Chain A
């Protein structure tokens, strides 16, 4: 019923006349609204939304409990960043918020994208929509923008609600620094989910059956979350230097393993979030003792933190864009006839 009312609001809301004159933009906004309405009304989204909400609320709750009961360690440089700690702390019973998002986010992205194009193709809606006076790419762009809006609104409101609840609980507001970091964390999360969204949209353009595209997307997700670490372990055993190897060799080995791990999108995401949410982290790789000598254990400024994980974030954004470009290319060349 709620979705029905929402639908009515979405459909009824007339755009201002200035947009009406700009026919193309108006038609595009109609398509985006249709996408958003479709997602909100679909059962798969509602169920997944419930799962994500419940797990995230649970992990945030345990984090708040843990933070309330343990006094900060005197030398902890992150102690000043209470609001960041909510998203990374856990009392051991539940994984922390950013781990949960790293795990469930892909599933949400896949759920929003796997049947984007092929279900409309099979249901013959594609031909009907494309025979209206709109540009062909509007269809695909609207699919992407619609799902992205849903993801964006979902995570922004989730994070804002958490901050609000935490503010009420502890009695002081987040600092400007924390807000900046949380804002970037939200953006990074959206980009991460958007990557999986685009990957599944790509499959939905390439594969005719929704089941195929869903299974392929989930297989890739499973591969990176379950099997890739196993493979990495095997490789690690094989190339492990002996215990008496030189420091340089051990460093080289560590770097090699990290590079391998970073082929997984979830690793890129967790590198990025770690940097953003734990300002005291100085490097994502191994450091020499002499590099640490004389370092003051203080948090890094936000720009320095971004620099540390810069390549990871760019890689994630690049993956997202490559996936979208590929689906755009294939969609524009797709024959409409069945």
Chain B
């Protein structure tokens, strides 16, 4: 895996396993995360993302394996780790009858900050996340988006080196997601934060993550930049080309295609051709067709994105492919 090449990872996980009774939530996980990167933990519900996060924080004890966060073992000294890691749980709870400011001050004080400084930090963070106008309002009256922003402020108040966000955009509307992800991106670049973001939503991950790790059934089946991930995962897969021509040209097109090399299969539905090939041959096909003066309506090569990666693994695609 790519992670092994990293020189000085801020988070290092080796052979991490967590069992709940007979159920293996996390299975022999190896993971490295570099300082300053935004890493996306991607996977369906119950894949072991939250469990991994809890173990990184020392909130849950691993059955076996090693973890190192900022050079510290969270199992042995969870407090040192928790001082450096900000955590936004997937469904954050605040004291509903307290104001946003009071909630933040409490968190800051639990980090050993005096009241005066806690108040200063809270106010400046509330401004950063755009909640300065409702600082004195009770959290019970906050909307989902406001809570999530407050949660981000709450996880940043200890001035962490690593920020762990568990499903941060769950339940937000599309505009809310966009605002929130750009906020995370901006803050992480400003503060030079390492961000770990778990999600099962594809697009937010695609937009802001430098690297993603794909979790299935407690295993990290693949990791790397999204683009590279797709090409590596699908390098052995046939290329699908979709071709649509004018109805009068279908007969001729079929003949031309059959003459071409490297074709694995050609499927025809009236004027629509679905071609499977071993190599990328779109330009060959286009050239040939233009030479024969065929009226092309549509010619498209299917590219693999994160959705395909997802579908590939979730639809019971063999997990051995990636290794």
Contact = CB atoms under 8 A, between A and B. Distances in A.
Interface of A: 7, 11-15, 20, 23, 26-27, 30-31, 34, 38, 41, 120, 123-136, 335-338
B91 A338 contact: yes
A128 B57 CA distance: 11
20 contacts: A14-B115, A14-B116, A26-B109, A26-B112, A27-B109, A30-B109, A34-B106, A126-B93, A128-B87, A129-B110, A131-B57, A131-B82, A132-B110, A133-B111, A133-B112, A133-B158, A134-B110, A335-B20, A336-B59, A336-B60
A14 B114 contact: yes
Interface stretch (B30-38, B94-102, B174-182, B190-198): B94-102
Interface in B157-179: 158
Contacts of B106: 30, 34
Interface string B80-122: 1011010101011111110000100111011110111000000
Nearest to A119: B93
Contacts of A136: 78
B57 to A, nearest CB: 6
B154 interface: yes
Contact of A124 (B83, B93, B110): B93
Given A123-B96, A131-B59, 5 more contacts: A7-B102, A14-B114, A125-B94, A128-B94, A337-B51
B54 interface: yes
Interface of B: 20, 50-51, 54, 57, 59-60, 78-80, 82-83, 85, 87, 89, 91-97, 102, 105-107, 109-112, 114-116, 154, 158
> Closest 10 CB pairs between A and B?
A124-B93, A23-B112, A132-B110, A123-B93, A125-B93, A131-B87, A133-B83, A133-B82, A30-B109, A133-B79
Contacts of A125: 93-95
A132 B93 contact: no
Contact of A132 (B50, B80, B95, B107): B107
B41 to A, nearest CB: 15
Contacts of B96: 123
A19 to B, nearest CB: 10
Contacts of B102: 7, 11
B112 A337 contact: no
B59 A132 contact: no
A123 B96 CA distance: 9
Contact of A20 (B51, B91, B114): B114
B276 to A, nearest CB: 44
A108 to B, nearest CB: 21
Contacts of A124: 89, 91-93
Nearest to B116: A14
Nearest to B83: A133
Contact of B89 (A31, A41, A127, A135): A127
A11 B82 contact: no
Given A27-B109, A27-B112, A41 B97 contact: yes
Contact of A120 (B50, B83, B93): B93
Contacts of B107: 128, 132
Most chain B CB atoms below 10 A, which of A14, A27, A128:
A128
A134 B83 CA distance: 9
A132 B54 contact: no
A130 B92 CA distance: 12
Contacts of B91: 124, 338
A128 B93 contact: yes
Nearest to A34: B106
A326 B50 CA distance: 28
Nearest to B59: A336
Given A11-B105, A30-B106, A133-B112, A128 B89 contact: yes
A120 B50 CA distance: 19
A337 B57 contact: no
A31 B89 CA distance: 20
Given A30-B106, A128-B107, A337-B50, A20 B87 contact: no
B116 A131 contact: no
Nearest to B164: A131
A17 to B, nearest CB: 8
A335 B60 contact: yes
A11 B112 contact: no
Contacts of A20: 112, 114
A337 B54 contact: yes
Contact of A27 (B57, B80, B95, B110): B110
A27 B107 CA distance: 9
A31 to B, nearest CB: 7
Contact of B59 (A15, A23, A127): A127
Nearest to B82: A133
Given A14-B116, A31-B110, A130 B59 contact: yes
